[in-house]
Chains A and B, each alone.
Chain A
Amino acid sequence: MRYAMAIDLDRCTGCHACSVACKVENNLPDGIFWNRILTAGGKSMDTPSGTFPNLSMQFLPVNCQHCENPACVKACPVKATYKREEDGIVIQNYDKCIGCRYCMVACPYASVRQFNWKKPEYAIDVAMGDAAITPHQYNTVEKCTFCTHRLAQGLKPACIDTCPNRARIFGDIDDPNSEVSQAIQGRSYFHLLEEKGTKPSIFYLT
């Protein structure tokens, strides 16, 4: 079994709902986003390239790619980051992380791993999201977990259920009948930086 996610770029409107859902569900500290919406267009977020009326803009949601051959797992000197044998999810163990940031250096997908440079601070005084999430620790690296706490409850990751355009599809890629396997069938897709040999579990449908 190997969990995977398909993101249909033709359906993504760059609404950032998945990003916000992730932030709320996992009670992410200020300045940290596990799931970011990048803009392939102008020089800043949500801006097109070109000159009116010939403009173009494409969104690219990026979170941890949960690679089959993860560079971060090889790099971590103390096995604080590892791949779960049972479902291929790449986990970050906050209690073991020494905060060397080598996994951030090793990961080709810029900024999907983020570091708590200061004690976690939150925009509001009450904790948000699921009570089952692991508390954030400062001086440690964290990243997308594919919402393992929700998977344990039989739910899908928060970003999947929140996407208003159903641009995100999740499931077991080893099961040909799963939603994600069905979604990629007959579609053209790519993996981010495929040439790096990390074998990501995120399929970008085009």
Chain B
Amino acid sequence: MAVVTNTKKTSATNLWTMIFAVFAVLGAVCWVLQLTRGLQMTNLDTNNMWGLYIVGFMIFTGIAAGSLLFSAVPYLFKLEEFKPYTRIASYLGAVASIVAASLFIIVDIGNPERVWLFITSGNWTSPMFWDFIMLSSYMVISIIFTRKLILLNEGKIEEKGVKGIAVVAFVAGILVTVTSFVFSFQVARPLWSTPAQPLSFLIAALVAALAVLMILSHILNKSGYVKMPIGLLAKMGKLTALLLCIELIIVITEILIGLYPGSGEDYAAFIWLVTGKGAVGFWLMMVALVTAIVLLAKQGTLPKVGLLLGGAIIALIAIYLIKSNLLQAQLFNPLITLPGTPVYGETTGPYVPSLLEIGLSLGIVSLGALLLNLGFGKLNLGTTANTRKL
């Protein structure tokens, strides 16, 4: 990824560009298959109508929002040591994450050729329409922010020149809670209708962004593009661990509150999740959460990059599982469960994405990485002399 050094710059960048491009093409092929044969190519159905694509949307919207916050906070709260890395975070939010999040929605909908209706026939009462507005504004804010940060680095503007956009980016980042409204505003889905969801989405956004930034920083450190001290990486790790602890508390309290009555809508969904068909996903999530917290928090006096990286990767897996479990536990346990006239795919779970869904999702992530890699090559985002503007 983004090996932009003086010596091996071109060949390595080209190699990664090619790898990402191949996966992006694979994703495009999967999409064509899905468009021509219908969403029956996925493992989604009448009960479980949302799956991997929506989880991908949630995670990448989170990364975008978290990146905005990571970029804005050092300028608003005077955290000098993080300022050099805000350009990378802002660009990550500006391009890779937002493009990926938007594409996850595009491939999820059955008729992407009608997406322009969001503009000509948008419904102001729909939280999904709010998400559309939010993602569009993220794109604009991030691009302006990235541009300003580059100009600041080049000494063409003063630091006070980025304060305004930093405030906007900070507020926009906090508003990632709007993403949770898509779920928590639905009376049909009591499991999602809790005040904890907006908080959980905000935490997930920060965790996802911090984890990706930690992984990116390590890769870019190795390539010489940036020079982030291990101490900073460790601080990011500890913050991620703290946030994951809060997420763990939310998960456990929701489970306990749901299970305690011993019957009812929430109980049915949570028992499905904890001891029923969703149990594998649930317990994997718990293990991932605890492991990530331990790896990221327990660093000792000499933090180890390997442990931090491992913790960051597992933290991303935990966030994926939290979102996936949230969807499945509710969708497989609707309010009316009486048996009746059979319709297409009334499965009871668990949901495992089809190969086509996985291929398409890999393609989207690769396209995001491709844009990221190209950006590192073309823009002046790094912190060292090896950073080159091509």
Contacts and interface: CB of A to CB of B under 8 A. Distances in A.
Interface of A: 16, 19, 31-33, 36-40, 42-45, 47, 60, 62, 71, 73-80, 96-102, 104-111, 114-119, 138-140, 192-193, 196-198
B341 A33 contact: yes
Contacts of A45: 339-342
A45 to B, nearest CB: 5
Given A104-B49, A114-B46, A196-B188, A79 B123 contact: yes
Nearest to B187: A196
Nearest to B112: A98
Contacts of B187: 71, 106, 108, 196-198
A111 B340 CA distance: 10
Given A78-B122, A115-B39, A97 B111 contact: yes
Contacts of A193: 335-336
B340 A118 contact: no
Given A108-B187, A108-B188, A114-B46, A40 B338 contact: yes
Interface string B292-305: 00000000000000
Given A96-B121, A105-B49, A115 B126 contact: no
Given A45-B342, A78-B121, A139-B39, 15 more contacts: A19-B341, A31-B345, A60-B340, A78-B114, A79-B122, A96-B114, A98-B110, A98-B114, A100-B128, A111-B346, A114-B344, A117-B38, A118-B38, A196-B187, A197-B187
A39 B117 contact: no
Interface string B177-189: 0000010001111
Given A108-B188, A193-B335, A118 B341 contact: no
Contacts of A108: 187-188, 335-336
A117 B344 CA distance: 8
Interface in B92-129: 105, 108-112, 114-115, 117-118, 121-123, 125-129
16 contacts: A38-B339, A47-B339, A62-B340, A71-B187, A73-B125, A74-B125, A76-B123, A96-B114, A99-B39, A102-B182, A108-B187, A111-B336, A116-B110, A118-B40, A140-B111, A192-B336
